[in-house]
């Protein structure tokens, strides 16, 4: 079974600076999807960024980018120019591409604090 590990329970960053959140996963599959979701205090789950494993290019969405290292099974999230609104729990998630199993497997999350 696939597992997702987020080794940093909490992180903090100064406003306008850059922070990187770590995620590693374990799988025997060669094709899959990876996601980062944000959960602010409202607890709504918001998609931040996604990556298809077959794509070598790292995904980027505005101030958010990933460092996808397939061989190392690592999928870190970089947040540039951090803003107060970025404060939230961040969850890394894995999804198989095999038919019949659509579930997301989540890590336990990293709580990000942004200091003014």
By CB under 8 A, the count of residues binding another protein is 23
CA-closest candidate to residue 21, choices 31, 32, 11, 34: 11
DSSP 84: G
Regarding 91 and contact with another protein (CB under 8 A), the answer is: yes
Q: How far is the CB of 39 from another protein (least distance, A)?
A: 9
Contacts of 116 (CB under 8 A, 6+ apart): 15, 84
Among 20, 50, 67, 78, contact with another protein (rule: CB under 8 A): 50
**Rule CB under 8 A: is residue 75 a binding residue for another protein?**
no
**From the CB of 68, what's the least distance to another protein, in Å?**
15
Judge residue 67's burial from the number of C-beta atoms within 10 Å of its C-beta, 0-12 exposed, 13-18 middle, 19 or more buried: middle
Q: Which residues pair with 51 in a beta bridge?
A: 34
70 lies in the binding site for another protein (CB under 8 A) = no
- Residue in 22, 24, 27, 33 binding another protein, rule: CB under 8 A: 33
Write out the residues near another protein by the rule CB under 8 A. Answer: 33, 35, 37, 42-47, 50, 52, 91, 99-109
């Amino acid at each position: 079974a696939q597992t997702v590990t987020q080794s940093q329970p909490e992180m903090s960053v100064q406003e306008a600076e850059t922070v990187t959140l770590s995620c590693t996963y374990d799988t025997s599959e060669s094709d899959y999807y990876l996601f980062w979701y944000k959960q602010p205090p409202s607890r709504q789950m918001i998609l931040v960024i996604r990556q298809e494993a077959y794509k070598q290019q790292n995904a980027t969405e505005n101030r958010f980018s990933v460092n996808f290292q397939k061989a190392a099974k690592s999928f870190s999230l970089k947040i540039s120019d951090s803003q107060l609104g970025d404060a939230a729990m961040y969850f890394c998630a894995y999804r198989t591409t095999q038919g019949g199993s659509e579930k997301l497997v989540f890590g336990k999350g990293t709580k990000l604090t942004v200091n003014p």
